[in-house]
Structure 1
Amino acid sequence: MNLEKRKRELAQEFSPLLEKTTKTSKIWIGFLIAVILVGVYAFFVQLFKGHIVTGMRDNVVWGIYIINFIFFVCLSYSGAFISGVLHFFKTPWKNSVSRIVEIITVLSLIIGPIFILLCIGRLDRLHYLFMYPRIQSPITWDIIAIMTDLIGCFIYLYLTFIPDFAILRDNSENASKWRQKVYKYLAIGYQDTPTQREKLHKITRTMSAMVIALAIVAYSVLAWIFSLTLQPGWNSSIFAPYFIIAGLYSGIGVIIIAMYLIRKYYNLEHYIRKVHFIGAGIVLLIISLLFGYFTFSEYFSRWFSHKISDANLLNTLFTRYFWMFIFANYIGVLVPLVILFFKKLRTIKSITFAAVIAVIGLWFNRYLIVVPTLETPYLPIQDTREEFIHYTATWIEWALSFAGVAAFILFFILIMKLVPVIPMSGIIDNEREQNKSKKTFKKIITE
């Protein structure tokens, strides 16, 4: 295989995706920017008027901000875990999905913590959290875990980008000058020599193992923030593994949805094939079984204990939040289970539909963990007005939530405009391994 010729062919193949923007893409980007601008306006309204413009009150001190935080951080940790496993065990079909997973991981770690800042009533005192942290506080350890995981995942993502930056640097004569300068700077002198390639693979493999450990530890710390309290609905010994399984459940679902959209709108059917959807669907099936088991164990133990506080919580779930409870814990688990269990139903569209149901159900599950629990405290507060007891999100909260999702999608699109979503270096590595296998096979036959 002529290595330089193959690199040039791949650069020419992917350059239209990087340099050209269709009219549909421009409209979509404009829409996302508009959503973000509405969110910015909502942020300033909340900043100047305070949390009175939100639905959070004395009972429910956390709303959909904290739910979005948990969801995004959950997504990032699952992405880090999946990406680490793909690289560490050298999964055969990792090349088509690894970069999608890595980008999702880093962006989720950036977007997620922003929702925590929206929960803070006095942002002008934010720096005290870093100047005078309480080492006994699980929130302090959660911040340490998030920052450590963000740095580790960012380095890991950059390491996987370096070979592609080098390919684009050497084969972008027709690209704009700013692109050439960016690729040259980010490639940091990488020449793809055997020595450099071996060192980079070793470092990436080591980082993948570290990322797996960071993902498990960091998300366990987040779960302990809830489970180490005496609050009904949170005080549980299985919250850490339950959160990890839920994170993997949502992570696999979002990855499948991203694969479907990227495959369809960027015409990458040759690289993202049906076998990848089937593989991801089987993983989602296994995780749905585990998630369903943990969910059943969590609610059954509370129902069977007959504690007054747990009974009040279950009564709230089965009355005020009945349909959300049904969707989160029945439809969100059983529908993906049924679709993915039968081989005939495992088409690309049906697997993607199952992933959408799973992700929506998981978000509702996070909502049911936070809001109903805060609405049923041990002791009722003095002010019993409806808006102080029950929580309803305002347009401010929804605007900022949708702005976060829009920012996530926009940054994803912009990254895909900088580097191919299918790693070119991975394609070359696969072809190199196939050539070695063919030569070895021929040698064995000859002997």
Structure 2
Amino acid sequence: MSVVEPSTVTRSAFHPDVESYEQVNRDAMRLLTRPGKGYVALLAMSVALVGLLVFAELHNIIYGLGMVGDNWAVMITTFVFWVGIGHAGTLISAILYLFRAPWRQAIYRFAEAMTVFAVLTAALFPLLHIGRPWFFYWLLPLPSQRGIWPNFRSPLLWDVFAVTTYLTVSSVFFYIGLIPDIAAARDSTTDPMRKKVYGILSLGWRGTDREWRHFTRAYLFLAALATPLVLSVHSVVSWDFAVSIVPGWHTTIFAPYFVAGAILSGVAMVVTLMVPVHKIFRLGAYFTPVHYDRLAKLLLLTSLIVGYAYGMEYFMAYYSGELYERDVFWDRVTGDYWWAGWSMITFNAIVPQLLWIKKIRQNLNAFFIISVFVNIGMWYERFVIIVPSLSHSYEPWKFWNMHMTWVDASLLLGSFGWFFMWFLLFLRYLPGLSMAEIKEVLPPPMKHHAPEQLAHDEAEMVAETLPTGYKEREVR
């Protein structure tokens, strides 16, 4: 596979075949055309998994939380997993926007959509594991005649605030960035229903200078607002565990450890989504080797940070001399859950090191497989943090082994179905490529002139500044 070497020129992030604004519009609108059989099959499979999730939760409500292997195991593991998935979208769309990274334009829309749908998926699990989800509003600080307020020291309430804040800001950020492209879709579509819906969603956008000025300011403000959330949201989720005295949880490294793991899993999910979309919709002119090379390096960096955190956890458990802490960490790799512990270390810290090899980093199939392994490893990481520490606590008579039931498996698979259902619907009904930002790095359309006129225009200067001591003069 040929590789375009990274360059300091912004234009180099795209293939030279992308030449005109019309081509960008045409390729972006192609994603919104009639879907093929493969798309319909994937959507039907996702909806079926959502149905399985609904059935499992109804079974849970009727017969009680005893139907799951453990009240905390799979539900909280999957909750933390999906919250982490959403962080790479904010990293790519907001932080790289603030740093003016020249390679984010083509991929950030997929990353933003992934963020919104991942957080939407994570929001399901606090509702599912409270046992009586119809009383979910008890988690909110709503005034009532009884004068009873939620316990603000409860980690469950922290999760509610973290998820709702992140979901709100990410959704607004996602929607604001979509407005110019929805307006372009409104002007391109011939379907009267779509034209009407796109007209409402585009808020009357006409692309005037005033609209663009306010748009860029609003987008910059939201990017600056969303950036701290990358650090704060998953730090709050990590404190669910770190503030307790459970062995293996009570540690100060959890906040940066969770944030690095979240970015690692999010980047891996971006690659997992990009590669199939790249191949199915033939978007090689937009998803170039430059993009995959930068994503591979970002994944490699976060993998090294996570691997360092793994090593420091075991070192501190040994160096502290705390018997219970040392016993729990030893149990993670030699006890009943050794398979999960070694899967976590192998998939998150060892397998990504293959990306040091340039040929592997530039091979789409190999990169896709590595990203899938990282996603599996990150789910195992959350599993290893939660289950062995709870099942191997202080008193030996409380030791137990967690066994996943069909309800656990259904909720886990159903969460993936829920996520992919929304993502597939997004590909079908909203612009997946950011036409506005891609056009920013393309040569603007110019009028064609005769060679004599071009020579005359080049010779005619708009303004010329003479050396010091001479006054400025205008030619035109």
What TM-score do the two structures reach when normalised by structure 2? Answer: 0.85
Letter in 1 for 2:210: T
Matched, 1:378 2:388: no
Runs of 4+ with deviation above 6 angstroms: 442-447
Match for residue 4 of structure 2?
Answer: none
Q: CA RMSD of the aligned region, Å?
A: 2.3
Match for residue 187 of structure 2?
Answer: 170
Unaligned runs of 5+ in 2: 1-19, 143-148, 447-453, 465-476
The answer to whether the Cα contact below 8 Å between 1:86 and 1:98 also exists between their aligned partners in 2 is no
Q: Which moved more, 1:76-85 or 1:320-329?
A: 76-85
Matching of residues 58-137 of structure 1 within 5 Å: 61-130=71-140, 131=142, 132-137=149-154
Select the structure that is richer in helix.
1
Match for residue 178 of structure 2?
Answer: 161
| Alignment size in residue pairs | 426
CA separation of 1:228/1:272 partners in 2, compared to 1, >3 Å: closer, same or farther?
A: same
- Deviation string, structure 1 residues 241-266 (Cα, Å, up to 9, x no partner): 00001001101111111111110111
Match of 2:408 among 397, 403, 410: 397
Partners of 2:282 and 2:162 lie apart in 1 by 38
Match for residue 145 of structure 1?
Answer: 162
Matched, 1:15 2:19: no
The answer to whether the Cα contact below 8 Å between 2:249 and 2:385 also exists between their aligned partners in 1 is yes
Letter in 1 for 2:173: Y
The answer to whether the Cα contact below 8 Å between 1:303 and 1:314 also exists between their aligned partners in 2 is no
Partners of 1:364 and 1:354 lie apart in 2 by 15
The answer to whether the Cα contact below 8 Å between 2:28 and 2:431 also exists between their aligned partners in 1 is yes
Match for residue 357 of structure 1?
Answer: 373
Letter in 1 for 2:157: T
Partners of 1:418 and 1:405 lie apart in 2 by 20
**Secondary structure at 2:131's aligned position in 1?**
coil
Match for residue 31 of structure 1?
Answer: 45
Partners of 2:290 and 2:195 lie apart in 1 by 36
Partners of 1:312 and 1:296 lie apart in 2 by 16
Match of 2:290 among 260, 275, 292: 275
What TM-score do the two structures reach when normalised by structure 1? Answer: 0.90
CA separation of 1:433/1:229 partners in 2, compared to 1, >3 Å: closer, same or farther?
A: farther
Match for residue 3 of structure 1?
Answer: none
Deviation at 1:285, TM superposition (A): 1.1
The answer to whether the Cα contact below 8 Å between 1:224 and 1:239 also exists between their aligned partners in 2 is yes
Match for residue 411 of structure 1?
Answer: 422
- Deviation string, structure 1 residues 370-425 (Cα, Å, up to 9, x no partner): 0000001223557x7xxxx2111111111121111011111101011112211111
Match for residue 364 of structure 2?
Answer: 348
Letter in 2 for 1:274: P
Partners of 1:261 and 1:444 lie apart in 2 by 50
Deviation at 1:9, TM superposition (A): 5.0
The answer to whether the Cα contact below 8 Å between 1:78 and 1:244 also exists between their aligned partners in 2 is no
Q: Percent identity?
A: 27
Partners of 2:379 and 2:194 lie apart in 1 by 38
Letter in 2 for 1:205: L
Structure with the greater alpha carbon radius of gyration: 2
The answer to whether the Cα contact below 8 Å between 2:121 and 2:415 also exists between their aligned partners in 1 is yes
Partners of 2:44 and 2:164 lie apart in 1 by 31
- Deviation string, structure 1 residues 69-107 (Cα, Å, up to 9, x no partner): 000011113322332112212211111110011001101
Partners of 1:136 and 1:400 lie apart in 2 by 28
Match for residue 195 of structure 1?
Answer: 210
Partners of 1:97 and 1:160 lie apart in 2 by 13
- Deviation string, structure 1 residues 24-78 (Cα, Å, up to 9, x no partner): 211221122222212211111111111121111xxxx411110110000111133
Unaligned runs of 5+ in 1: 1-5
Match for residue 233 of structure 1?
Answer: 248
The answer to whether the Cα contact below 8 Å between 1:7 and 1:167 also exists between their aligned partners in 2 is no
The answer to whether the Cα contact below 8 Å between 2:340 and 2:383 also exists between their aligned partners in 1 is no
Deviation at 1:443, TM superposition (A): 7.2
Partners of 1:12 and 1:203 lie apart in 2 by 27
